[in-house]
Structure 1
């Protein structure tokens, strides 16, 4: 792949060209020149877009796809195409397909299906067999097959001894253990945040305590084992404080927050729209502000779209019966831009790579081209026309977002609109 990117503002704090507007020459997938103006003497393809900006390729630490087993929700092929059009060059894929990805064969299948794509797919293997929280899965075998971490998507590890063993065992090969923070006995039949809105609307509540108590337990286990823990999504102010204190003690813990928890609160439930039924649930304004502060001071390490396609048969039903989840790849950048400046937004969308052991590629001569292309300016209303996913379950429909994604350049391929 040979091409020239014209007049692009580079957003990459690790690059000597950070915030400069340059032409970028890419030959055979490698950046060979960065200059104020590059002559196209070889008649290469050119990319020229309005207010074009480029950054290191974006990474999402929690993406669900349907295949295998739930292809009506999303296929790997279309999911990767959606990620590319949304500006992501790498995604970590959760194991919640059918069958659950809990063996090296399952991991190999995902890697094979994604081979040769512009977007890198990094599988997360299930921590326990069938994500049933009874027996540990084949962690080391899955690691060798390409799994970058281990966790049961939106399923709490009920047995604390099982998590203790997992942290000790995974530490032998620098494995990253994910633990979804939810104490199910406190959740009971709850489906939304417990508070004035749940009471007024007659919806059973999930107390913040259910998340926080589980995090306290996991952090005690982490301190005991000296392992390596990642909390995939946190949603409460107290959770932010707990992680902040754990990091101050030197524990090897990281965490992420779903972008919709940064933008919306449980006030959205007024319409009983099941698009807002997510897990962890939308919380209060106080929680939302605390999550933003947690990102700003480094307590929260990264953001995720927590992209989870759900077919209409399981989403457009009574609120109690609807499945949890919203798609989020398409809206991730535009939503972040409504609360952070562009440099911060890009930093948050690339910062998770190191924790998951994924190589980064600085925008510099000699580096492989791993680029996201976008325009950070301009607002628009997010509609179904902006959705590339097979499923349409977006909590961001009707929301005003900021900025346009043009696409990516990665793996010697160009996906640019």
Structure 2
């Protein structure tokens, strides 16, 4: 298949074509030519309003439900949503039934997503059944194609277990994730422990619960060596802890949820369970610190933290509702409004290195792994914009800047309309 993309502004700081308007000729899944103008009426052409192109985006923390919770989302539809949202590679979380804690679990997810253009990278559970007791089959899962090892949103309460996991995974260059939450301090909290939660009578999750766990994990990493990723930090103190650890030379990376870059705990006023998130929405001080941590490179990148929840477990009393929000469809528009286009692209591709995903540039001879978007349109995110199987979207009603057209990946063009 040949495709000629016309008059696109290329957004790639690692390319000599950065911020220049160019035509791209794609042949057999590779960028064969980039020029100010390419004329060939015999080739299929793509022209889109204010088209911008960047290297394909990567999200390491996406939940689809399948297997076990197909009523929330299937892998097939979830991958379509990812493509329409600009993501060419996604890491699929372990909050399924059964939990992927063996090589057969990893094989199942890869097989289900094998016919799609978006690359599927299954996450393997760190412990058997994600119960935090015994290590799962880490090496076998790695050999089968597991992206990393993580008990989704479950903290590792046993410090010796984390120590052993890091030591073992270090032998085959495996990446361990540890969710930063000290359960004894968080207890049954449902929102950030601060003025707003107190005023509303909601049980609090203190910033201390994240920072104490993170500090412990970093000390263990310093002792063991290996690679550690901290998913979705949410406090100013966590940014400082990660920064200091990186200055020591530790192989630690971290991500931040788009929710914590855009919103604060002030939105809890109406007790809307769409805003019941983990990690919880924090203060404006924390939000600004996270943005600074992202801009300085302390935080490697952003995740949509996409997590579909069925109606029965979301539209209920705040205390009883499940944590989580879908986020793929709104991720770019919300982030672009806060960070600007260049920083947004950087943040949506920045986690590739931490997870060992090959990076591509917008240059001739490179694999065509592309995200297509218009960064300048202003709009309000609403329910009609949701393509996911669930509708628990925290961003409904929020102003967006920029829309995604789709992706070119896996030798296929997937457009949202």
TM over 0.5: yes
Residue matched to 1:164: 163
Mapped to 1, the partners of 2:343 and 2:262 lie a distance apart of: 16
1:338-377 matches, cutoff 5 A: 338-377=337-376
What's the Cα RMSD here?
Answer: 0.8
Distance 1:194 1:271 in 2: 17
Q: Which 10-residue stretch deviates more, 164-173 or 340-349?
A: 340-349
TM, length-normalised to structure 1: 0.99
Q: Which residue of structure 2 aligns with residue 74 of structure 1?
A: 73
CA distance in 2, matches of 1:69, 1:116: 20
The CA distance in 2 between the partners of 1:327 and 1:234, in whole Å, is 18
> SS of 1:100's equivalent?
coil
- SS of the residue aligned with 1:270? helix
Q: Could you tell me which residue of structure 2 aligns to residue 4 of structure 1? A: 4
- Describe how 1:151-190 pairs up with structure 2 within 5 A: 151-190=150-189
User: SS in structure 1 opposite 2:329?
Assistant: coil
Following TM superposition, the consecutive aligned residue runs of length 4 or more in structure 1 with deviations greater than 3 angstroms are: none
Distance 1:182 1:267 in 2: 22
Distance apart, 1:313 and its partner CA = 1.1
Which residues of structure 1 form unaligned runs of 5+?
none
Structure 1 Cα separation of the partners of residues 275 and 158 of structure 2: 30
Deviations 1:255-276 (A, max 9, x none): 0000000110110100100000
The CA distance in 2 between the partners of 1:29 and 1:293, in whole Å, is 37
Taking the TM superposition and a 5 Å limit, the aligned residue runs for 1:81-96 are 81-96=80-95
Structure 2: which 5+ runs fail to align?
none
1: CA distance, partners of 2:157 / 2:315: 30
> Which residue of the partner structure matches residue 49 of structure 1?
48
Question: Residues 195-222 of structure 1: CA distance to partner in whole angstroms, max 9, x if unpaired?
Answer: 1111111110011111000001000100
Report what 1:39 is aligned to: 39
Secondary structure at the aligned position of 1:337 is classed as helix
In structure 2, the residue matched to 1:24 is: 24
Specify the alignment match of 1:253 in structure 2.
252
Range that drifts further, 50-59 or 293-302: 293-302
Counterpart residue number, 2:303: 304
The whole-number CA distance in structure 1 between the counterparts of 2:190 and 2:340 is 33
The CA distance in 1 between the partners of 2:403 and 2:188, in whole Å, is 40
**Equivalent residue, structure 2, for 1:15:** 15
Once the two structures are superposed, the pairs formed by residues 222-261 of structure 1 within 5 Å of their partners are: 222-261=221-260
Q: Give how far 1:304 is off.
A: 0.5
State the SS of the aligned residue for 1:359: coil
Question: What's 1:213 paired with?
Answer: 212
In the alignment of these two chains, the number of paired residues is: 416
Measured in 2, the distance between the counterparts of 1:216 and 1:182 equals 11
Deviation per residue, 1:69-114 (Å, 9 max, x gap): 0000000000000000000000111111001111100000000000
Give, in whole Å, the separation in 1 of the partners of 2:352 and 2:227: 15
What is the CA distance between 1:41 and its match in structure 2? Answer: 3.6
DSSP 3-state at the match of 1:388: coil
1:389-411 CA-partner distances (Å, limit 9, x unpaired): 00011100000010010000001
Query: Counterparts of 1:229 and 1:61 in 2: how far apart (Å)?
Result: 14
Match of 2:171, SS state, is helix
Residue 196 in structure 1 maps to residue 195 in structure 2? yes
Once residues 189 and 232 of structure 1 are traced to their aligned partners in structure 2, the CA distance between those partners, rounded to angstroms, is 21
Aligned to 1:144: 143
Quote the Cα distance in structure 1 between the aligned partners of 2:375 and 2:214: 36
C-alpha distance in structure 2 between counterparts of 1:182 and 1:414, whole Å? 40
